[in-house]
Amino acid sequence: MRKRPLFLITLLLVLLTAFAVQAEANGRRLTIVLDENPTTGYAWTYAVSAEGKLREISSEYAQDDGTAGLVGAGGKRTWMFEGVMPGDVTLQFGYARPFEEGVGPVRSVSYFVRIGESLEPSLRGHAEAAGTFAFISLAENPTTGYQWAVEMSAEGILNQDGDEYMPDPAPEGMTGSGGTHAWRFAALAPGEVTLRFSLQRSWEAGAEDTLALTFTVDEGLNVALLSVE
């Protein structure tokens, strides 16, 4: 078994920490779980890029196990959605204090969802803007020949300092299973930049799938996801 370089192990741990979230599609249901701590005044809100494709079924908060009676302890917010209409949709979550006007979220997470003809949602990937970093994670299966490539619309605003493929857990000897391709970008200078992702085979023209994420970087080098196409 090939040993991973220390850099890649560190990157993997950073990505797993940044994406302290859970998302799972099962049948016509999509479940999303995010860390939340109401005692701080912060709460999650979300927006849907296209109305009528996903419907929220429930939203529940539960305190973490073993923290009953602890002042300031946090927990997790769980949403459940179901597919209503075929198509692509983005769920954009922001973590902010609703009473602080003019202040952006301290954390934002976006999920890229595809709803098939049978109304079963599948998770294409997700992105997170946290502090001076942007994290992107997209589903990929290199055994099919398709792999994600990324291009920047402008240089000097974000620097790609991490790129790693992580296979999904699979029984030993099983071939053909997919995984996740993850990137990390660090802010360099204020500005706006679009990251264009293309899922393609190197020997074929055209792309099987595309995704364009536009980020802004402010004077304090804080990164925010502006739009998804």
CATH number of the domain enclosing 142: 2.60.40.2020
Q: Which pLDDT value is given to residue 180?
A: 92
The tokens describing 41, both together, are: 């005044």
Instruction: Tell me the backbone φ, ψ of residue 219, rounded to 5 degrees.
Output: -65, -25
Sheet holding 223-228, edge to edge: 147-152, 191-200, 209-217, 223-228
Q: Which pLDDT value is given to residue 173?
A: 63
Q: How many domains does the chain have?
A: 1
β-strands 75-83, 87-96: how paired? Answer: unpaired
Q: Which pLDDT value is given to residue 10?
A: 46
Does 221 fall in a domain? yes
Q: Which pLDDT value is given to residue 81?
A: 96
Q: Which pLDDT value is given to residue 11?
A: 46
Does 25 fall in a domain? yes
8 Å CB contact between 153 and 193? yes
Q: Which pLDDT value is given to residue 168?
A: 82
Q: Which pLDDT value is given to residue 46?
A: 94
Q: Which pLDDT value is given to residue 157?
A: 98
Query: What residues make up the domain containing 111?
Result: 6-62+74-228
Does 67 fall in a domain? no
Does 1 fall in a domain? no
Does 186 fall in a domain? yes
> For the chain, what is the total number of helices (H) and then of strands (E)?
1, 15
| CA separation for the pair 210, 30 (Å, rounded) | 22
What stretches in the chain show pLDDT beneath 70? 1-21, 67-69, 71, 170-174
Q: Which pLDDT value is given to residue 64?
A: 84
Q: Which pLDDT value is given to residue 211?
A: 94
Q: Which pLDDT value is given to residue 92?
A: 93
8 Å CB contact between 26 and 51? no
Does 39 fall in a domain? yes
Nearest one of 183, 169, 112, 177 to 141, comparing CA atoms? 177
Does 68 fall in a domain? no
